[in-house]
Amino acid sequence: MVLIISAQPATSNEERQAVLFSCFRDGSLLMEAKDGKKPARFYLKPGDIFPWDQFLPKLLVNWQLSDYKDIPKEFKPQKRIPDFVLEGLLKEPLETQLKILATLRSQGYFSALPTRK
């Protein structure tokens, strides 16, 4: 799921194309570049801009298709996500969507987030 990451200090102030490689308990995200630029991997900290508005619709489609090969391991369902969640997720504001993801994680739908080393 290639995402467009807006220019910001974490991306050397350049727009980047990258996939979400891993998520961590502290809220940081490890990105893997798909644009041929250096560095090939970079971190977004909790205050950085991550394109949740691009990521969540792509994630939802993969969940609906049960196609988990492009989904970061932290978002691979450990059990079936209820249909009402799948059908209603994108109808909610982004802030609510993120709260729904956190609730699903706390209810065991996803594995626990690792600590960043």
pLDDT (tens digit per residue) in 35-74: 999 999 999 999 999 999 999 999 999 999 988 998 999 9
Instruction: Supply angle C-alpha 36, 40, 43, rounded to 5.
Output: 135
Residues 40, 65 share a domain: no
Residues 56, 84 share a domain: yes
Residues 97, 68 share a domain: yes
Residues 77, 40 share a domain: no
Residues 34, 56 share a domain: no
What is the pLDDT confidence band of residue 80, given thresholds at 50, 70 and 90? very high
Q: Burial letters for 81-103: b for 16+ Cβ neighbours within 10 Å, e otherwise?
A: beeeeeeebeeeeeeebeebbee
Residues 101, 57 share a domain: yes
Type of residue found at 103: T
Q: What is the number of domains present in the chain?
A: 2
pTM for this prediction: 0.91
pLDDT at residue 117 tops 90: no
Distance (Å, whole) CA 54 – CA 18: 12
Range of the domain at 9: 3-44
Percent of the chain's residues with pLDDT above 70: 100
